[in-house]
Amino acid sequence: MLEIRNVSKTYKKSSVKAIDSISLVIDDGDIYGFVGPNGAGKSTTIKCVTGILKFEEGDILLDGVSIKDNPLALKQKMAYVPDNPDIYENLSGIDYINFICDVYGVEKNRSEDIKRYSTLFGIEERLGDAIKNYSHGMKQKVVLIAAILHKPKLLVLDEPFVGLDPKAAFDLKEIMKELCANGTMIFFSSHVLEVVEKLCNKIAIIKDGKIISSGTIEEVKGDTSLENVFLELFDE
């Protein structure tokens, strides 16, 4: 499981905590949604989980191993896809994917899996092109393919559906379900509440750096919609 234990992060030149004593538990097979308005602390939390940002208080553990004690061990088990993928523009798509596979030591079924996912996302014929000639959506697809090929224990996604066409968004949802059925845990932020409500089994809502609601989708939304819950919470 992924455990976020009372984590707080304050940026330099700020007296306000970007995230304040956040605690969450994400189990194997969970698709865990993370929602909140802009500036609430979603991306800060995600960057702490992935080891991009250091935090002053608390701890983050994956399968009992602390990211403070052994960050490399955790990063080997996870994959991260940011909301705006900045990748090596002068590489081709296939070169970038193979580079990430080399970093993670992926050998088994590499070619078959690349072909499978690139065909699914409709970019197989463009993998030889330079990334600088890709649209945002194509870059997103390449980064997603590279992220899942080493079969991460934890997949962290920041607004993964931004820039994807409807078919690619559907295909990504199916891939997420398949990964989780095989034990991967997914932690992702999104502003698309309808997708979160239908796709996730658990959710946390963050406001001003603090978790204000968390649990199963049913526990959080009750007999109304997630959109209504969100609007009520942020109309105060």
Identify the CA nearest to 65 among candidates 55, 75, 56: 75
Whole-number pLDDT of residue 232: 83
Contacts of 163 (CB under 8 A, 6+ apart): 135, 136, 137, 139, 140
Q: Which token pair is 233?
A: 């919470």
Contacts of 226 (CB under 8 A, 6+ apart): 35, 193, 194, 196, 197, 203, 217, 220
Does residue 190 contact residue 21 with C-beta atoms inside 8 Å? no
Whole-number pLDDT of residue 91: 95
Q: 6 in the Ramachandran plot: left (φ > 0), alpha (ψ -120 to 50) or beta?
A: left
Q: How many other C-beta atoms are found inside a 10 Å radius of the C-beta of residue 166?
A: 8
Per-position pLDDT tens, the chain of length 236: 999 999 999 998 888 899 999 999 999 999 999 999 888 899 999 999 999 999 999 999 999 999 999 999 999 999 999 888 888 899 999 999 999 999 999 988 899 999 999 999 999 999 999 999 999 889 999 999 999 999 999 999 998 888 788 998 999 999 999 999 999 999 999 888 888 999 999 999 999 999 998 999 999 888 888 888 888 887 75
Could you give the CA distance from residue 143 to residue 148 in angstroms, rounded to a whole number? 9
Whole-number pLDDT of residue 236: 56
